[in-house]
Amino acid sequence: MLIIAELEPARKKEKLERYVKNLAANVDAIDIPEVPMGRPVASASVIAAHFKAIYGDVEFIPHIRVIDLNRVGLLSLLAGLHVAEIKEAVLLRGDDPVEGGKVEDVNVEEAARLAKIRLRDKRPRLGAMLSMRYPFEKIEERMKADLEFFMVLRGLYDYDKLARASRVARRLGKKLYAYVIIGSSRNIDMLRSMLGGQPVYRIEDVERVVERLSPLVDGVILSSPGDMEAIVEAAQRLSRKF
């Protein structure tokens, strides 16, 4: 059962260093989104490579937006992450960029297939998002793509559906990491209005939620947009128990 913490990308090095230091002792991996809301910030892949060189025992999982890359750019980036010893990366389309145009070269499934053919094992393991909101047939279809793990959204939206997805993942040899979105007094109202019904849990509920998820997934991703301190506290709680 892996404990993964989400690190919001930022342009201030000192801010990133402080949170990575506080997280590193209590998590197995740190997940880094890329260009949230289509607005440019520090590159998730560069941040991941930088901190991997410092914290070798912690894994870093950068997100990669296919909407920003053509095939050459994608393959070069994945090969570079392999050299930097980044073991996993997440492919996603991404929100439309607020500046510049979209690249419509490959979608997520095509990008994963291209990387598998062209780079073979000289690349990170590749994952993608998987929402339990969709019909199970769509979920199962995505799980059969050339992807090796999935980050599960709305994990407890339908527990029976998650259990079915877990059985399919095990049969296919793929891993599931479920998001646990945490709300504090600083951001819970914002998150509930922004996330359109996606479950938001208070810090004191995180252990119970993770216990319920643990039989069905290989790890959890602690996320709290706008409040990194909530993630640090939740990671400390979980590290004592899992």
What pLDDT score does 37 carry? 85
| Sign of the CA dihedral with 237 first, then 50, 44, and 39 last | positive
Q: Is the pTM of this model over 0.75?
A: yes
pLDDT tens column, 113-137:
999 999 999 999 999 999 999 999 9
Residue 196 has pLDDT above 80, yes or no: no
Cβ atoms of residues 61 and 89 within 8 Å: yes
Cβ atoms of residues 117 and 96 within 8 Å: no
What pLDDT score does 222 carry? 98
Residue 241 has pLDDT above 90, yes or no: no
Kindly list the domain boundaries of the chain, sorted by start residue. 2-239
Which class does domain 2-239 fall in? alpha beta
Q: Residue 76, class by beta-carbon neighbours within 10 Å (0-12 exposed, 13-18 middle, 19+ buried)?
A: exposed
Write out the two tokens for 198.
């996606």
pLDDT tens column, 21-52:
999 999 999 999 999 888 989 999 999 999 99
